[in-house]
């Protein structure tokens, strides 16, 4: 006890030194945010020993901590030394133990294939294939929804964004927590009672079925493919970095595997793969976040103070993010890491992203489809409550992992392995497990890699199933065959469709190799929020809503979101890269002309900037633009109101008495569930 009291006194003294230089007002607001993130971990915070990085940052006489081994060819600089360590000799890839990692991967594949074989025996009808016959319990469905929602973009991409852009990445991580509130309060029960298998079933209940189903199928496939691209990129990067398997081979291999899951096992296999994945993912996330906090002494104040004082983070913000060739006198670059605007520089981007997150999940086809797998609306509500709890815990912990990666690895190391930051979680797992080459480091890295791999398999299976259901059930069965196809034919067409959807996902994944996976997911949410959400909401709750309104919402919302993305800053603009590089070159060459001898680090920056300028000068984006026309990275702020306005105008301009007359029936169904006791009996 006496030792703990002395430790507390040392910490208070160290923190006093940090704050006494006038930074108190500057970091207080951010520390409050940090406290909210880690409140549940602070019960032992004031009895733990202070972290080494805190002592280095705050006590001038303390010697630098020894470097920590991150890979067999590199050592990481101490997190908060008195001067930045040279950023040289950084690894170009993660170096796992191949035997252990491959064994983990094969174990995951073996378990999931056994599930597929078991599920295939009971998948005979269309209801079995699409909704597992409505026999999934609320508890099982809650875990499956969580497994469907916690994607590779969340696990790899969000932690990477946080490690590179601080609070802006945190905004990406907290947004999904709120999306399920809209589903729980508004969407889950009515959709379960009014639908059958797909989004088209909900929207066509009181409208002209064929045109509505056709447009709904297009929207479903568009959203699913956007989401699928993110998963395929994550899969390709994971296999390439970890096992030295070429990116193309990795994407094709994962694509073949996911198609096999859906084609043979249907919804039942997909559900159990998602449940297994959710359990593994939560276990790995909890352990990794706990190790981060243990390393910081279980004290969030010290943890975030270390981040602000870290010279490598300061250098990253100055050189890589703000593009300042030389430090601005008096400017605190570490503090800037804890403030918004590094990634989402326009404040309206924050609003736009929030709209897309909050409303997008309620329009995701693979999430809506899961409501039809439970036997009653009560179980649908229960599953959403369970999924909300699991997802909120997961995204809460992702923040700790992302900030921990920035502090204990450095943004420079993370971006050297992958420019999008997608490998930050894996590097951190290896470090906290004991470092590269150690049994603990290799085992923990292999486990986290296997979890990420299972995550990808589970999510892509759900997405492929949703897209194939839209094409097979809405287009073929209800449009081409006018609803007269037998059960055997429906299942056969669904399986063939799954094959082609998987092929499309593979091709698009190959084309999007350089993109950050979390940005791709945010765009999928924006498309879903702009078209699907207004259509579903108004179809369920507005009596006058009709066929013209549905088609207008889906076409305008989806098209506007995609069009705005193509001309937004989220696309790659080579000319902008060249212009930023030119500014650095001009500044540093001016210093040289004045007789200033540049440091080795600045010389490397100068050399890299010259190469970037030469490579990108005169280049254009994929649509031929040198600079973005639309200023926001996420189109939700504009495309969601456009989709809603189009729905209202289309409805008012083209009255439909049949749609109004049938509203009473759908209202009774969504409230009581009358006539819809099981999905297989719809």
Q: Could you read off the pLDDT of 579-606 as tens digits, one per residue?
A: 888 998 998 888 888 888 888 878 888 8
- Does this model's pTM top 0.95? My answer is no
Distance, CA of 393 to chain centre: 15
Find the range with the poorest average confidence among 172-176, 434-438, 555-559, 625-629: 172-176
Give the C-alpha separation, 316 to 407, whole Å.
12
The reported pLDDT for the residue numbered 92 is: 53
How many CA atoms are closer than 13 Å to the CA of 334, on its beta-carbon side? 18
Q: Is the dihedral of CA 528, 534, 535, 536 positive or negative?
A: positive
Query: In 132-246, which ranges are continuous DSSP H helix?
Result: 138-149, 152, 159-165, 167-182, 188-194, 199-203, 209-243
Would you call 153 helix, strand, or coil by DSSP?
A: helix
Find the range with the poorest average confidence among 16-30, 117-131, 332-346, 518-532: 16-30
Among residues 321, 519, 290, the alpha carbon closest in space to that of 401 is found at: 290
Which range of 155-164, 329-338, 361-370 scores highest in mean pLDDT? It is 329-338
Would you call 68 helix, strand, or coil by DSSP?
A: strand
Backbone angles phi, psi at 671, to 5 degrees: -85, -40
82 confidence band (pLDDT: 50, 70, 90): very low
Residue 71 pLDDT > 50, yes or no?
no
Give the C-alpha separation, 577 to 203, whole Å.
44
519 confidence band (pLDDT: 50, 70, 90): low
The reported pLDDT for the residue numbered 330 is: 86
556 confidence band (pLDDT: 50, 70, 90): very high
Residue 557 pLDDT > 80, yes or no?
yes
Average pLDDT in the 184-197 region?
Answer: 73
Taking only the tens place, the pLDDT of each residue in 34-51 is: 333 333 333 333 223 333
Q: What is the phi-psi region of residue 89: left when phi exceeds 0, alpha when psi lies from -120 to 50, beta otherwise?
A: left
The reported pLDDT for the residue numbered 309 is: 93
Taking only the tens place, the pLDDT of each residue in 100-131 is: 888 888 888 888 888 888 888 887 788 888 88
The reported pLDDT for the residue numbered 514 is: 65
The reported pLDDT for the residue numbered 248 is: 86
How many CA atoms are closer than 13 Å to the CA of 36, on its beta-carbon side? 7
93 confidence band (pLDDT: 50, 70, 90): low
Residue 16 pLDDT > 60, yes or no?
no
Which pairing describes strands 74-76 and 68-71: parallel, antiparallel, or unpaired?
Answer: antiparallel
Give the C-alpha separation, 521 to 127, whole Å.
29
Give the C-alpha separation, 498 to 492, whole Å.
10
Q: Are 306 and 78 in contact (CB under 8 A)?
A: no
Q: Are 576 and 627 in contact (CB under 8 A)?
A: yes
Share of the chain above pLDDT 90, in %: 18
Give the C-alpha separation, 53 to 68, whole Å.
12
Q: Are 677 and 376 in contact (CB under 8 A)?
A: yes
User: Between these two residues, 469 and 25, which has the higher pLDDT value?
Assistant: 469
How many CA atoms are closer than 13 Å to the CA of 47, on its beta-carbon side? 6
User: Between these two residues, 167 and 646, which has the higher pLDDT value?
Assistant: 646
Among residues 211, 141, 647, 671, the alpha carbon closest in space to that of 366 is found at: 141
Q: Residues in the chain, how many?
A: 682
Taking only the tens place, the pLDDT of each residue in 559-581 is: 999 888 888 887 778 888 888 88
**What does pLDDT average to over the chain?**
78
The reported pLDDT for the residue numbered 340 is: 86
Give the C-alpha separation, 434 to 442, whole Å.
8
Residue 306 pLDDT > 90, yes or no?
yes
Q: What DSSP assignment string belongs to 415-428?
A: HHH-TT-TTHHHHH
Among residues 572, 568, 601, the alpha carbon closest in space to that of 584 is found at: 601
Which range of 230-239, 392-401, 638-647 scores highest in mean pLDDT? It is 638-647
Q: What is the phi-psi region of residue 46: left when phi exceeds 0, alpha when psi lies from -120 to 50, beta otherwise?
A: alpha
Distances 30 to 35, 321, 336, 339 between C-alpha atoms, Å:
9, 20, 10, 7
Hey, what are 401's tokens?
A: 């992992």
User: Between these two residues, 522 and 90, which has the higher pLDDT value?
Assistant: 522
75 confidence band (pLDDT: 50, 70, 90): very low
The reported pLDDT for the residue numbered 639 is: 94
Give the C-alpha separation, 440 to 446, whole Å.
10
Task: Please give the span between the terminal C-alpha atoms of the chain, in angstroms, as a whole number.
Answer: 66
Hey, what are 32's tokens?
A: 């409050």
The reported pLDDT for the residue numbered 39 is: 32
Centre a 10 Å sphere on the Cβ of residue 627 and count the other Cβ atoms it contains. 12
């Amino acid at each position: 006890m006496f030792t703990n009291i002395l430790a507390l006194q040392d910490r208070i003294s160290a923190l006093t030194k940090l704050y006494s230089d006038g930074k108190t007002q500057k970091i207080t607001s951010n520390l409050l945010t940090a406290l909210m993130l880690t409140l549940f971990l602070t019960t032992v915070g004031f009895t733990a020993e202070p972290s080494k990085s805190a002592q280095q940052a705050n006590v001038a006489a303390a010697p630098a901590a020894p470097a920590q081994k991150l890979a067999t060819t590199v050592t990481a600089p101490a997190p908060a030394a008195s001067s930045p360590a040279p950023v040289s000799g950084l690894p170009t890839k993660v170096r796992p133990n191949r035997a252990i990692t491959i064994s983990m991967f094969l174990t995951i594949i073996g378990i999931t294939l056994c599930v597929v074989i078991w599920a295939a025996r009971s998948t005979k009808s269309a209801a079995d294939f699409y909704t597992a016959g409505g026999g999934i319990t609320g508890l099982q469905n809650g875990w499956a929804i969580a497994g469907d929602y916690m994607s590779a973009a969340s696990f790899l991409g969000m932690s990477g964004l946080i490690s590179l852009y601080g609070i802006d990445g945190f905004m990406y991580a907290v947004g999904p927590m709120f999306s399920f509130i809209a589903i729980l309060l508004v969407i889950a029960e009515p959709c379960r009672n009014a639908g059958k298998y797909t989004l088209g079933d909900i929207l066509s209940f009181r409208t002209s079925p064929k045109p509505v189903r056709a447009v709904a199928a297009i929207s479903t496939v568009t959203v699913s493919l956007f989401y699928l691209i993110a998963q395929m990129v994550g899969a390709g990067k994971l296999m390439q970095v970890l096992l030295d398997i070429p990116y193309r081979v990795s994407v094709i291999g994962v694509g073949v595997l996911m198609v096999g899951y859906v084609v043979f096992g249907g919804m039942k296999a997909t559900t159990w793969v998602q449940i297994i994945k959710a359990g593994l993912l939560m276990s790995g996330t909890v352990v990794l976040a706990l190790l981060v906090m243990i390393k910081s002494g279980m004290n969030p104040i010290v943890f975030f103070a270390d981040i602000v004082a870290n010279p490598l983070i300061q250098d990253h913000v100055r050189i890589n993010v703000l593009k300042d060739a030389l430090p601005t006198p008096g400017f605190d670059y570490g503090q800037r890491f804890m403030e918004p605007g590094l990634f989402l520089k326009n404040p309206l981007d924050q609003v736009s992203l929030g709209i897309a997150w909050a409303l997008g999940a309620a329009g995701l086809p693979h999430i809506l489809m899961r409501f039809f797998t439970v036997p009653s609306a009560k179980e649908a509500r229960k599953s959403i409550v369970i999924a909300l709890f699991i997802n909120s815990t997961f995204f809460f912990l992702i923040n700790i992992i992302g900030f921990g990666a920035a502090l204990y690895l450095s943004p420079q190391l993370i971006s050297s392995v992958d420019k999008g930051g997608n490998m930050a979680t894996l590097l951190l797992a290896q470090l906290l497990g004991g470092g590269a080459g150690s049994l603990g480091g290799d085992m923990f890295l292999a486990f986290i890699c296997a979890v990420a791999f299972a995550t990808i398999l589970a999510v892509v299976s759900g997405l492929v199933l949703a897209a194939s259901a839209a094409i097979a059930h809405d287009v073929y069965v209800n449009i081409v065959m006018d609803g007269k196809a037998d059960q055997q034919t429906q299942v056969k067409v669904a399986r063939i469709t799954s094959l082609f959807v998987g092929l499309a996902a593979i091709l698009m994944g190959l084309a999007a190799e350089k993109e950050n996976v979390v940005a791709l997911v945010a765009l999928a949410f924006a498309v879903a929020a702009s078209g699907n959400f207004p259509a579903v909401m108004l179809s369920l709750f507005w009596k006058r809503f009709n066929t013209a309104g549905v088609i207008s919402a889906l076409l305008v919302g989806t098209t506007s979101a995609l069009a705005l993305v193509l001309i937004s800053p989220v696309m790659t603009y080579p000319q902008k890269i060249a212009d930023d590089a030119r500014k650095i070159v001009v500044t540093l060459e001016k210093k040289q002309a004045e007789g200033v001898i540049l440091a080795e680090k600045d010389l490397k920056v100068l050399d890299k900037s010259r190469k970037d300028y030469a490579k990108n000068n005169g280049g254009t984006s994929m649509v031929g633009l040198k600079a973005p026309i639309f200023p926001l990275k996420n189109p939700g702020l504009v495309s969601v109101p456009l989709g809603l306005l189009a729905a209202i105008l289309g409805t008012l301009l083209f009255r439909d008495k049949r749609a109004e007359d049938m509203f009473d029936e759908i209202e009774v169904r969504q409230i009581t569930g009358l006539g819809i006791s099981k999905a297989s009996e719809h």
